[in-house]
């Protein structure tokens, strides 16, 4: 890392305590932030930040040391995503979604071919995406319409994907599907589509209020892959043992990073106002003090749930720990609500300067990006699921 990057790393906030988090902060400050406005304005993939993630080892950080990675913990990965989100939410979401797929490979990739792919991830040469959603199912990933077709030692698949983030830039894609054409909708497996094994054809466009750089359009996915790229564990096992925990922590780290960026802007606005009226406390300082309380609540709930997940450890099915499932769903509901509250309070603190596009204290992009959190896996669905789950647990 060059001297300029080291300077940015030293400027990382107090909550950024791990080496991986500080490295991500430097990538965010030096690369992601300068391009964030154009990524958002043009709805384009954050190519510059993604290349920096490859070059600095962020993409391969979670890979175990035995496979050439750093063996980063979930806490370290969370901090790196949060640090990047403080500069560009779209870049952070790319990193978050990639790490979720990497976790599947780490914990469920049992074949030689899957191990080889994991080693490629460690070098930064493979960016992973997922094709879980499917047209016709309304976002329900617990079942599939598409199915694997087995032919000799290979498998073939065609899937009409509802939203496939950064599909045209991904080197590998994970996809859930019925295990064969005769299987029921819920009898799913996960196929890892390695480099060169798939083609994607856009069927829609991604012209949204926020999170524009994820390029999450609809795509027709066609795959011709080796049968050894199918995970041995069922889809439900993969999700319950790995997916729910890593997804929950990773995505909510993005929302917190957005909120922290807005709060930092509000803080800077108040300090600038105070310098203009030496000897008096600006009225906006009171609103900032209230904002910081809410931000502290968001930080605490993410830290608490992440610590609980890490204490439980991997390999335990979430089906066997319903209170933890409830806690993780509550984390998503809490974070998307609290972080949106922080951002809107930041707008109030900054006033018209926060509302104006291009202003030094603008929080426009933060507002639009953070609102996507409640819609990625809709909060209404989580409340319905929790209502049912609360009837099964013995205490809250």
Q: Which two tokens stand for residue 20?
A: 């991986």
For residue 294, give the H/E element and its range: helix 284-312
- DSSP output for 312-325: H-SS--GGG-HHHH
Band (pLDDT 50/70/90 cuts) for residue 7 is very low
| Distance in angstroms (rounded) separating the CA atoms of residues 196 and 364 | 39
Rounded Cα distance, 297 and 274, in Å: 26
The CA-based angle 56-59-64, given to 5 degrees, is 105
pLDDT band at residue 320 under the 50/70/90 scheme: confident
pLDDT score at 151: 95
pLDDT at 6 over 80: no
Q: Tell me, what's the pLDDT at 10?
A: 54
Residue 4 contacts by C-beta under 8 Å, 6 or more apart in sequence? 30
The answer to whether 255 touches 335, Cβ cutoff 8 Å, is yes
Residue 250's H or E segment, with its range, is helix 244-276
Superfamily of domain 236-389: Butyryl-CoA Dehydrogenase, subunit A, domain 3 (1.20.140.10)
Positive/negative CA dihedral, 326, 328, 330, 333? negative
pTM greater than the 0.75 cutoff? yes
H or E element at residue 290: helix 284-312
pLDDT of residue 9: 52
Strand pairing of 128-131 and 172-178? parallel
Provide mean pLDDT across the span 77-92: 98
Give Cα 292 to chain centroid, integer Å: 24
**Per-residue pLDDT tens digits for 307-319:** 999 998 755 566 6
| 3-state SS, residue 109 | coil
195-198: which pairs have CB atoms within 8 A and are 24 or more residues apart?
195/120, 195/126, 195/171, 197/223, 197/224, 197/225, 197/226, 197/229, 198/173, 198/222, 198/223, 198/224, 198/225
Mapped onto helix, strand or coil, the DSSP state of residue 377 is: coil
- Give the pLDDT band of residue 1 (cuts 50, 70, 90): very low
Q: Quick: pLDDT tens for 195-227.
A: 999 999 999 999 999 999 999 999 999 999 999
| 204 vs 214: CA distance, rounded Å | 14
Does the fold of domain 236-389 match that of domain 3-122?
no
Distance, in Å, from the CA atom of 123 to the CA atom of 317, rounded to the nearest integer, reads 30
In 3D space, the residue among 168, 171, 176 whose CA is nearest the CA of residue 146 turns out to be 176
Q: What is the pLDDT of residues 263-297, one digit of tens each?
A: 999 999 999 999 998 888 999 999 999 999 999 99
pLDDT tens digit sequence for 326-373: 999 999 999 999 999 999 999 999 999 999 999 999 999 999 999 999
Please state, in angstroms and rounded to a whole number, the distance separating the CA atoms of residues 212 and 368.
10
Tell me which CATH code domain 128-233 carries: 2.40.110.10
Give the chain's mean pLDDT: 94
Q: Helix or strand or coil: residue 311? A: helix
Mean pLDDT (whole number) for 142-161:
96
Average pLDDT over residues 66-71: 97
Q: Report domain extents, the chain.
A: 3-122, 128-233, 236-389
**pLDDT reading at 4 higher than 60:** no
Higher pLDDT, residue 1 or 189: 189
Instruction: Copy the structure tokens of residue 106.
Output: 């780490």
What homologous superfamily is domain 3-122 in, according to CATH?
Acyl-CoA dehydrogenase/oxidase, N-terminal domain (1.10.540.10)
Label residue 11 by pLDDT band (50, 70, 90): confident
Look at residue 393 in the predicted model and tell me its pLDDT: 87
Are the beta carbons of 112 and 124 closer than 8 angstroms? no
Residue 169 CB burial class (10 angstroms; 0-12, 13-18, ≥19): middle
Q: Report whether 179 contacts 238 (CB < 8 A).
A: no
């Amino acid at each position: 890392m060059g001297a300029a990057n080291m300077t940015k790393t030293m400027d990382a906030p107090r909550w950024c305590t791990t080496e991986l988090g500080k490295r991500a902060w430097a990538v965010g400050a030096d690369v992601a932030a300068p391009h964030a406005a154009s990524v958002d304005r043009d709805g384009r993939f954050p190519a510059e930040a993604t290349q920096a993630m490859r070059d600095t080892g962020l993409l391969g950080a979670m890979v175990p040391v035995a496979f050439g990675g750093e063996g980063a913990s979930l806490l370290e990965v969370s901090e790196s995503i949060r640090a990047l989100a403080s500069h560009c939410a779209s870049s952070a979401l790319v990193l978050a979604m990639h790490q979720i797929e990497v976790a599947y490979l780490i914990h469920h990739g049992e074949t030689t071919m899957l191990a080889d792919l994991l080693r490629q991830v460690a070098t930064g040469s493979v960016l992973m995406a997922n094709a879980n959603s499917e047209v016709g199912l309304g976002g329900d990933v617990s079942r599939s319409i598409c199915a694997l077709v087995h032919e000799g030692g290979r498998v073939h698949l065609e899937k009409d994907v509802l939203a496939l983030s950064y599909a045209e830039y991904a080197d590998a894609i994970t996809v859930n599907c019925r295990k064969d054409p005769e299987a029921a909708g819920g009898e799913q497996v996960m196929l890892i589509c390695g480099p060169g094994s798939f083609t994607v054809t856009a069927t829609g466009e991604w012209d949204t209020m926020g999170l524009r750089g994820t390029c999450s359009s609809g795509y027709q996915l066609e795959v011709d892959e080796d049968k050894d790229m199918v995970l041995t564990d069922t889809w439900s096992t993969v999700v319950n043992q790995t997916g729910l925990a890593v997804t929950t922590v990773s995505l909510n780290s993005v929302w917190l990073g957005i909120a922290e960026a807005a709060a930092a802007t509000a803080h800077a606005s108040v300090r600038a106002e105070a310098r203009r009226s030496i000897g008096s406390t600006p009225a906006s300082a009171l609103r900032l003090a209230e904002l910081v309380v809410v931000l502290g609540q968001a930080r605490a709930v993410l830290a608490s749930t992440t610590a609980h997940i890490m204490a439980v450890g991997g390999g335990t099915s979430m089906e066997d720990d319903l209170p933890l499932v409830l806690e993780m769903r509550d984390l998503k509901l809490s974070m998307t609500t609290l972080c949106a509250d922080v951002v809107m309070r930041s707008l109030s603190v900054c006033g018209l300067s926060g509302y104006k596009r291009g202003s030094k204290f603008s929080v426009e992009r933060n507002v639009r990006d953070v609102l996507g959190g409640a819609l990625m896996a809709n909060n209404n669905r989580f409340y319905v699921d929790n209502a049912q789950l609360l009837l099964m647990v013995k205490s809250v």
